[in-house]
Structures are given as C-alpha cells and as structure tokens.
Amino acid sequence: MKILIARLNHETNTFSPVPTPLEAFSPAFGEAALRANKGMRTAMAAFIDLAEGMGATLVTPVSATANPSGPVHAKAYDELTRRIVEAAPGCDAILLDLHGAMVAEHTDDGEGDLLARVRAAAPGVPIGVALDLHGNITEQMVQSADVMVGFKTYPHIDMYETGEHAGRLLLQMLRGEAHFRVCWHRLPLMSHTLRSTTLEGPMRDAVEAARGLERSGLPAVSVFGGFSLADIEAPCVSVVATCRAEDAAATQDAVDGLARQIWQRRTEYVYRSDPLEDSLRRAQDMAQGATRPVLLLDHGDNCMSGGTCDTMDVLQAALERGLTGIAMGPLCDPEAVARLIAAGEGAEVDVDLGNKVPLDRIGLHKKPLRLHGTVRAVSDGSYTVTGPIYTGQRCHMGHTVLFDTGSAQIVVSEQTHEPWDLGVFHCVGLDPTRFRFLLLKSRMYCRPVFTPLSEGLVECDSPGVTTSDYARFPFKRVRRPVYPLDPA
C-alpha cells in the first residue's frame, strides 16, 4: 500500500504588498518533508501517523507553508504543485494538507487547480483533503476530492484532529468500507475574520450545528468562513459535507439547511470597527487602576492575514494621546534593526521606524515615524512556542532589537511575525506582564496566550491591508451581489 501525503499552505491576501516567492515557503522535500511534520500538530502529521499505523509506504513529495501574503509567485506555485502531481501516479491513496485560500499570479483557484491535476494524474485514486477554516471553497475543489474536512476552531488548535478526521474517512474508502462524495453550499457572504472566531457568536453556533450533524451520522461537516481579503470570484462562506454516496440527496438538504441558518444571521458575520481614537480612549479607561496590561490588538496590520507588520498608526495615536507604559512587538523593520544594531546596546539614537512598505494596492503611502530612544537589547529573535498553538515549535524573527523610547518599549525585528507567544518579548529580556499596555499586531492567534494575562483587550482597526474596513479595498473581480458589499 502506497499513500501520497503532502502539505502546501498559503492564505493569499491579493491586496498585500508582501511577496510570496518559493523561499517564503521554506519547502522541505522527500524525507525532509516527513521529518518536518512527524510528531507535530499539523494535519500532515496526522496523515503520517495513520499511514504508518497501517504499515503503508509513505510518499512525501513536499511540505511547504508560508505566512499569508500577496499572490504566490507563478514559479513557486508551479514548482511546489508539480512535485505533488508527479508523485501521484502509482499511489493507492492521496492525503493533502492544504489551506483552501491560495491565489497564485496565474490562478485564482490554487487548490482547485492542484486537485484537478492530481485527479487527472491518478484517476480513481481516493483523495482526502484537510483545510483551514478560512478556505475559499470552489466547485473545482469539491469535484476533485472524495473527502474534505475543515478546521473547527479559530484560533486554530485542531489542525492535527482535522487531519486525523479526513485521513480516517479516506482509509475507510481504501479498505472498501465506504464510498464518499462531497456536498456543499456557498453563500454570497463575505465574513469578517474577526467574526469567524469559534469562541463566541455566529461562527461558534454554526460550527456547533455542524458537529450536531456529525453526531446524527454524517461523516464530516465543515463550516468555512472564507478569506475575504482576496479579489477573486467568491471569497465567501461555505458549508461542506463529506457523505456516503447513497446519502447525497439527504446530505445536500442538511447542508442547505445549515447554510440558511447562517444566512439568517448574516449581519452578525460583519465586523463594525470603532474609530481608532474611540478604541484608545476605551483602553485608557480600562487601564485605570488595573494591575495587568490592556491588550491593544492592531488587526489592521496582522501579518497572519498578509499585513506588512510595519504600520505605525496605532502606536503614533497612542503616543499622541499620552499613553505610557507600552510594550509593542514585533514591528518588522529590517532597515531600523540594522541601524540600531550598528549603534550598539546602550546607545541613544534617533531612528525612522515603520511605514516603509508601500501599500499601493489600497492607495496608501505613509511616512516613517521618527523616534528618539535607547537600544536596550539585541538578540537573534529566536524562541520556542509554549502553546497552545504550535506548541514546541521553534520560531525565528531574524535579528531583533529592543528599542526604548521612554513611553514605549518596541521589539523591532527583521521578519514579519505573529505574536504567538510571550517569547516575542522574552527573547530580548522583556517581561510583557509588567506594562500597562501591550500593542500586538494580531487578530486572534495571540489570544490564547496573552488574554489570560491581561486586564482585557481592545481591537484597534488601523488603515492597513488587513483592515476590517472593506471600503478601503478596490474589489473588482468579486461576483456581485454579495453581502455586505451589497444590500442583502
């Protein structure tokens, strides 16, 4: 028995200026791809465990994942997908750990095109796919897969469990115990990422309804929030179910019913941002008498949605309001890092920080913020995640500097980086729990670690390529009408 197992993940923000060449994926091939996932909490790791458990021969052509950014370079997409497609012939089953929202320079449907090519290369071979909750599902994806399962958590903590679910169903097909197909319903609804959390609200209820359908006997039901920061035909919410072929009609009815429930609550999937000044005023009020820091979440520049991680709007507004006791990090500015390292620890310098990556696709051009301060520490920007997301993973921000302006201590890094963990501060000797405010460029992934240590959080919507203000994005290719761009 020979099973193809591969991982290719990218969430594409078509408005992002951050490039996505091959090296952005840090790809691993062959045995290195297996080693990169073995024992980890990825869907591919679950595939590996299942295949090894049945004594199968594993074919692992590639494991490649890149932070969300602009469209994948054509050469990178072609190289990574070629390795998967060429490995398919001769395999008895295919398990793919994909994202579901990949756009390349020459295709708007990165996963759909890949799956169609894999299907053509290995006709009749069962294909199972694990996807991110923010996948933009297409007809081509659905038609090319026998099993499709998506994450049920955001923040995402069930990647391994999703892979185990998809793999377990595909192995049932391989053993001749079932024949599956995929049913789906896509809604004309572009949800906001901040309204796709499964911790509360409409997405939590929709996912619980999907679990209820699974408890009633359906093999797999997934609700996909979509990733709306992509100017493609339908960056929209979908309901997808894997069912036995003989149950397709009844399953489609159930999928349609859940989609109707979601549509009835469509206004709850839209995030209404407060003006930045109002958010900061609320944070100041929250900090009065507090013994723990207040989180300022700059979700308009979130690198895990394609942000540049270098906009300065929230920090500048906070300083202008007189906020003090701020710890911020990480801010990506390799030019400033080089300047500060050259000055050396203990040096007092004036430096232009941030706002250096042009935001041409949304028509914004900003100037760096000139600040005076002291270089407090220099490090290699490495730390180990303590969990619960990517527990045990070693992270690297590149050369990293702690810059102290008096009112704010700023962690400045060479690379864009999500604040997964306290390690983004600890790596430069800073204890973030001792500050009044923590300014993090994050939407959701910081919350499992930082929220329990805080007085509370305030969401700050700044003008960047991950803002929740759809009016800033020149959508041209999205199929209309679609809510909330158009009236329901």
Return the pLDDT at 161.
97
Confidence class of residue 382 from pLDDT cuts 50, 70 and 90? very high
Token digits for 148? 């499709």
Return the pLDDT at 389.
75
Kindly report, residue by residue over 53-86, the tens digit of the pLDDT: 999 999 999 999 999 999 999 999 999 999 999 9
Kindly report, residue by residue over 264-311, the tens digit of the pLDDT: 999 999 999 999 999 999 999 999 999 999 999 999 999 999 999 999
Kindly report, residue by residue over 414-441, the tens digit of the pLDDT: 999 999 999 999 999 999 999 999 999 9
Return the pLDDT at 213.
98
33 plus 115 within the same structural domain: yes
189 plus 252 within the same structural domain: yes
Comparing 207-221, 376-390, 393-407, which segment has the lowest mean pLDDT? 376-390
The average pLDDT across 239-260 equals 97
Looking at the structure of the chain, the number of domains it has is 2
Return the pLDDT at 37.
94
Domain C-terminal end among 251, 269, 287: 269
Kindly report, residue by residue over 127-152, the tens digit of the pLDDT: 999 999 999 999 999 999 999 999 99
67 plus 100 within the same structural domain: yes
> Would residue 315 count as lying in a domain?
yes
> Would residue 214 count as lying in a domain?
yes
Domain C-terminal end among 213, 246, 269: 269
Query: 26 in helix, strand or coil?
Result: coil
The average pLDDT across 342-365 equals 96
Q: What is the DSSP string of 406-443?
A: SSEEEEEESS-----STHHHHTTT--GGGSSEEEE--S
Going by DSSP bridges, is the β-strand pair 238-244/220-224 parallel, antiparallel, or unpaired? antiparallel
CA-CA-CA-CA dihedral for 225, 230, 236, 238, to nearest 10: -60
Cα–Cα distance, 458 to 238 (Å, whole number): 29
The answer to whether the CB of 2 falls within 8 A of the CB of 57 is: yes
282 plus 232 within the same structural domain: no
Cα–Cα distance, 227 to 363 (Å, whole number): 21
The average pLDDT across 467-479 equals 96
> Would residue 370 count as lying in a domain?
yes
Number of C-beta neighbours around residue 380 at 10 A: 12
Return the pLDDT at 361.
93
The answer on pLDDT for 392 being more than 90 is no
Confidence class of residue 87 from pLDDT cuts 50, 70 and 90? very high
Domain C-terminal end among 245, 269, 293: 269
Return the pLDDT at 390.
74
Q: What is the mean pLDDT of the chain?
A: 96
The answer on pLDDT for 369 being more than 80 is yes
What residues are paired with 147 via a beta bridge? 128
Question: For the purposes of burial, counting CB atoms within 10 Å of the CB of 176, is it exposed (0-12), middle (13-18) or buried (19 or more)?
Answer: exposed
Range 303-326 burial, b when 16+ CB lie within 10 A, else e: bbbbbbbbbbbbbbbbbeeebeeb
> Would residue 329 count as lying in a domain?
yes
Radius of gyration, alpha carbons of the chain: 23
Phi first, then psi: give them for residue 346, nearest 5 degrees. 90, -10
Higher-confidence position of 394 and 350: 350
263 plus 195 within the same structural domain: yes
Range of the domain at 119: 2-269
Return the pLDDT at 433.
95
Stated as kind and residue range, the H or E segment containing 351 is: strand 348-353
Residue 227: DSSP 8-state: -
Going by DSSP bridges, is the β-strand pair 93-98/127-131 parallel, antiparallel, or unpaired? parallel
> Would residue 174 count as lying in a domain?
yes
